[in-house]
Structure formats: C-alpha cells, structure tokens
Amino acid sequence: MLGWLRDALDRFQGGENLGRRGERVAARYLEARGLCIIGRNVRHGSTEIDLVATEGSTLVFVEVKSRTHEPHSEVTGLERLDSKKRGVLRRACLLYRKRYGRDVESYRLDAVTVEFLKKGARRKVHEVRWYPAILDLDA
C-alpha cells in the first residue's frame, strides 16, 4: 500500500502508532530546516530506511527513533542504535545507493529522535532532536 495512503488511514482510524507518527514529525522537522524528503519507509528485503532526503547535493538517510518522554531521564533513543543496527543501516544505505544511483556529491546517515508526552489519546510532541552524520557511510 502506498505510504501516504497508509498514514492517512492510520490517522483516520486513530491507530497511528508512535513510530509512524514520529517519522511524520521528523519529516516535517527536517523539511522546515531545508531538507527535501524523497522517500519514506524505503525497503530493501528485510531492511528499511525510515526517511531519505536531499540537502543540496548530499543524499541523507535518516533513522527515526520515537519514544514517550520520561521526566529526568537521560535516555535519547540513540542507545538502540547498537553495532548490529548500525551495520544493518549501513547495508540498507549501500543497497539504496546501488539501486537508485543518484548524482550526489556525498552521503550521510542522520538520526532524529522524537519524544511524545504521555497525556491524552493524541500525544503531543515534547521534543525533536536532529543528529547529523551519526555514521560514516564511506567506511
């Protein structure tokens, strides 16, 4: 099913999960800062890239981590990007670059964390953080 249609149906049915909502918030956040989103939930076999964007002549892959805000917690969500997950992301980005060979000068993998407040059925965004270039894709 088309991503935009799935998202619209999720919102209409009240069933949008935290991860999907976080990806939608992250995309708007990055677009407001000048990035152009060119792909969402791009799959290659069992791997997925949450967002693919361009920033000038740079192709940007984005991993989005969503969570519920916990007061006084130092956890950001980036802790879940262990070496195994980083390896999976590196391979997914490489597959994307091979399949959709784009004319770009550079590549990078960013992360965006989105925290939501617990209150109410419609959770509000507490904080969005953008972490550019969390992984060297040329290594």
Assign residue 102 the CATH number of its domain: 3.40.1350.10
Residue 10 in this model has a pLDDT that exceeds 70: no
Give residue 81's domain range: 3-135
Model confidence over 51-77: pLDDT tens digits?
999 999 899 999 999 888 777 667 666
Residue 1 in this model has a pLDDT that exceeds 70: no
**Span 29-56, average pLDDT:** 93
Q: What is the pLDDT of residue 69?
A: 76
Average pLDDT of the chain, as a whole number: 82
What is the number of domains present in the chain? Answer: 1
Rounded to a whole number of angstroms, the CA Rg of the chain reads 15
What predicted TM-score, i.e. pTM, was given to this entire model?
0.81
DSSP string computed for the chain: --HHHHHHHHHHHT---HHHHHHHHHHHHHHHTT-EEEEEEEEETTEEEEEEEEETTEEEEEEEEEEE--TT----SGGG--HHHHHHHHHHHHHHHHHT----SEEEEEEEEEEE--SSSSPPEEEEEEEEEEE-TT-
Model confidence over 116-139: pLDDT tens digits?
988 665 678 989 999 999 887 765
Residue 43 in this model has a pLDDT that exceeds 50: yes
